């Protein structure tokens, strides 16, 4: 386990705009930075980063936190892996806390880390095999024939798996590994009848697949010797760390260039990516031979809204890519296309033309998706009006998927010119298609609502009286706890003084009570409270609250008095807030007591008990009215 001192050093060293800036584009907005949220789809940026406080907050989906939270959420990392990644970025040597017991690790996280260790070991083993006699003859020569330089081989960590049935198995056993993790990672398989193991990737060149942080999470292996019993390409199965529908080959190597060029080239295969990357076209990724998925598109959208699809020059490749275009449009991306001559793909054609000529080809031949699709569909149509109508309908289906109304209108105009059709008529048809889609969506939503309505109601103990005020108290503690309230006392001092002096005030929400307990213990040790206590807290719920409360959606401008003097009475704001929160908490408590005494009055068995209850009830009503009068609220009942 990483020591607390090392964790604190990393948290204090991490510069949040540098960390998040590697994943999304951030633009200056006052004292903060603004960008499109990487955790959900949005048209208008609502993801705010505060460099001064070291936190982020999305006002669209509500996610918030610090640099560690971001990496955990974005890269699907554990807390310790996020700390290690930041430590590597800022050249910090981590110290391990030897007193921590390994049992503290979550079982699922242990398995995940074990899988990653097995995958990393296999990657290193495959790389080393390129330098063996067999590897040089089979693997290295294959890469060299494809024109790959040593730099490309190293950058993509390419390798070779020997022809032997137990090569990796034997190496793993020699290094005292638990082979079950290699089985779970899809690297080896167990012969159930014999209880022995054999390698899955045999006599293949290996293409490691990395996640966004650079960890190897899977492999693709290309067959070198024709064998009808096994596929040409063998890919890792789905595992705890690899979900192929959310992964694009080459994204780790391409993400910075995609962001810099504000465009992503989308190809089909591993060698397409490596060849183009070597030819200085580094903003390129591959769907690895699978149909494009929504998860993969969202991954692209984290870095750019512009995609150029490079089609293989065969009918099957074009049809598959056209299906992908509609998915890209539906997610709001701007799509352009480049097609290659029959029998060519990006890899082969780049080698044929050479780097410079190929780059020129991409510039001169890229077309907007509607022009490309119209040209493709119009082949063989000639002057047949029926077939032409079908082409128009096909184009309109794609246009109707675009979420932006102005873009739809622009494409309708372009389509009317290409197809010599009335623009208004096309817009009417597009709206019909969208309404039809909306009807289907509405049905799905209504179904979900019915499920919610039919679900059992939460138990009464899940509700807390005055939870809004409890939340307000914690918000003030996080936002202003360290600030001076009166003389030497801070806001936090005042809060704990009030809670101590009024035993009737109890915080019922478990998380808010936990926060108050921890802060009180922290301050009892004469430690100085600050925002970082909450921002860098080990509890993710508390970090999330800090991100929410310490990030404002709108920056408050100072306002002007009649004489033109700027008014910025920050202390006056949180003093009033504190007074209001405590008065509301007390009002809630009085209301609770009134309810209880009315119940006692109704259940009283003697006139004397009823009289006592009534007297206490009258006193409570008087107190309630006094508090309500100070707050300026009306009390009903």
**What pLDDT is stored for residue 579 in this prediction?**
65
Between CA 603 and CA 597 the distance in angstroms is 10
Contact between 470 and 507 (Cβ < 8 Å) = yes
Straight-line distance from the first to the last Cα atom of the chain, in angstroms, rounded to the nearest whole number:
57
pLDDT at 537: 80
Q: How many CB atoms lie within 10 A of CB 553?
A: 9
Give dist(CA 322, CA 433) in Å, integer.
19
By CB atoms closer than 10 A (0-12, 13-18, 19+), residue 335 is: buried
Q: Are strands 47-50 and 32-35 parallel, antiparallel or unpaired?
A: antiparallel
What's residue 403's pLDDT? 86
What's the rounded mean pLDDT across residues 527-536?
77
Collect all residues with Cβ–Cβ distance below 8 Å to 230 and sequence separation of at least 6: 223
Q: What is the pLDDT of residues 493-511, one digit of tens each?
A: 777 777 766 655 677 788 8
CA distances (Å), 12 to each of 48, 69, 169, 301, 483, in order?
A: 20, 14, 43, 30, 21
Could you tell me if 511 and 470 are in contact, meaning their C-beta atoms sit under 8 angstroms apart? no
Helix axes 491-501, 570-603, angle to 10 degrees: 20
The single residue listed with the structure tokens 């024939």 is: 145
Number of Cα atoms under 13 Å in the Cβ half of residue 167:
19
Query: Distance between CA atoms of 239 and 115, rounded to whole angstroms?
Result: 9
**DSSP state for residue 94 in the 8-state scheme:** P
pLDDT at 278 over 70: yes
Query: Is 157 in contact with 148 (CB distance < 8 Å)?
Result: no
CA 439 to chain centre: 29
pLDDT above 80: residue 79:
yes
* Averaged pLDDT for residues 133-141: 94
Q: Give the tens place of pLDDT for each residue, 306-333.
A: 999 997 766 665 666 677 888 899 888 9
What's residue 120's pLDDT? 94
How far apart are the C-alpha atoms of 56 and 32, rounded to whole Å? 10
Q: How, if at all, do strands 55-58 and 64-65 pair?
A: antiparallel
Measured CA distances, 255 to 305, 311, 493 (Å): 13, 21, 48
Taking residues 11-26, what's their average pLDDT? 86
pLDDT at 407 over 60: yes
Looking at residue 127, its pLDDT comes to 95
pLDDT in tens, 292-311: 888 899 888 878 889 999 97
0.95 surpassed by pTM: no
């Amino acid at each position: 386990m990483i020591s607390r001192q090392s964790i604190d050093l990393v948290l204090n060293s991490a510069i949040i705009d540098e960390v998040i800036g590697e994943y999304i584009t951030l633009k200056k907005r006052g004292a903060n930075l603004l960008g499109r949220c990487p955790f959900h789809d949005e048209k208008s940026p609502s993801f705010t980063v505060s460099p001064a406080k070291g936190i982020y907050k999305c006002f669209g989906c509500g996610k918030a936190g610090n640099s560690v939270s971001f990496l955990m959420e974005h890269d699907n990392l554990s807390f310790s892996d996020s700390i290690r990644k930041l430590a590597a970025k800022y050249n910090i040597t981590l110290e391990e806390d030897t007193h921590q017991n390994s049992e503290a690790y979550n079982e699922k996280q242990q398995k995940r880390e074990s899988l990653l260790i097995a995958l990393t070991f296999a990657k290193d083993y495959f790389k080393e095999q390129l330098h063996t006699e067999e590897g040089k003859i089979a693997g290295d020569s294959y890469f060299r024939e494809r024109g790959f330089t040593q730099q490309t081989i190293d950058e993509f960590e390419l390798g070779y798996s020997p022809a032997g049935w137990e090569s990796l198995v034997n190496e793993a056993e020699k290094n005292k590994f638990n082979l079950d993790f290699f089985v779970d990672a899809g690297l080896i398989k167990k012969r159930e009848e014999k209880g022995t193991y054999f390698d899955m990737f045999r006599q293949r060149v290996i293409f490691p697949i990395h996640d966004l942080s650079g960890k190897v999470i899977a492999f693709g292996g290309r067959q070198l010797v024709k064998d009808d019993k096994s596929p040409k390409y063998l890919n890792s199965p789905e595992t705890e760390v690899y979900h192929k529908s959310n992964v694009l080959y080459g994204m780790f190597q391409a993400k910075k260039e995609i962001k810099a060029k504000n465009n992503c080239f989308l190809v089909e295969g591993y060698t397409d990516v490596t060849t183009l990357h070597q030819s200085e076209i580094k903003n390129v990724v591959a769907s690895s031979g699978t149909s494009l998925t929504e998860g993969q598109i969202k991954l692209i959208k984290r870095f750019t809204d512009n995609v150029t699809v490079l089609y293989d020059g065969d009918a099957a490749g074009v049809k598959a890519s056209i299906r992908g275009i509609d998915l890209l449009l539906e997610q709001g991306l701007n799509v352009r296309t480049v097609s290659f001559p029959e029998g060519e793909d990006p890899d082969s054609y780049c080698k044929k033309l050479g780097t410079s000529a190929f780059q020129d080809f991409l510039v001169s031949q890229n077309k907007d998706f509607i022009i490309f699709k119209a040209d493709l569909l119009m082949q063989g149509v000639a002057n047949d009006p029926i077939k032409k109508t079908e082409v128009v309908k096909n184009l309109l289906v794609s246009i109707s998927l675009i979420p932006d109304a102005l873009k739809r209108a622009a494409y309708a105009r372009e389509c009317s010119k290409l197809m010599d059709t009335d623009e208004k008529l096309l817009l009417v048809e597009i709206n019909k298609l969208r309404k039809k889609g909306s009807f289907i969506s509405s049905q799905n939503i209504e179904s979900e609502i019915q499920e919610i309505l039919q679900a059992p109601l939460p138990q009464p103990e899940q509700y807390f009286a005055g939870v809004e005020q409890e939340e307000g108290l914690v918000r003030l503690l996080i936002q202003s706890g360290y600030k001076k309230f009166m003389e030497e006392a801070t806001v936090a001092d005042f809060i704990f003084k009030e809670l101590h002096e009024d035993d009737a005030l109890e915080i019922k929400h478990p998380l808010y009570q936990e926060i108050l307990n921890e802060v009180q213990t922290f301050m009892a040790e004469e430690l100085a409270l600050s925002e970082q206590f909450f921002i860098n807290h080990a509890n993710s719920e508390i970090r999330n609250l800090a991100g929410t409360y310490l990030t404002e959606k709108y920056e408050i401008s100072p306002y002007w008095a009649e004489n033109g003097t700027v008014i910025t009475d920050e202390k006056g704001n949180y003093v009033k807030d504190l007074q209001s929160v405590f008065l509301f908490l007390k009002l809630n408590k009085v209301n609770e007591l009134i309810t209880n005494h009315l119940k006692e009055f109704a259940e009283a068995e003697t006139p004397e008990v009823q009289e006592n209850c009534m007297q206490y009830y009258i006193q409570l009503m008087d107190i309630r009215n006094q508090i309500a009068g100070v707050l300026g609220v009306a009390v009903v009942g």
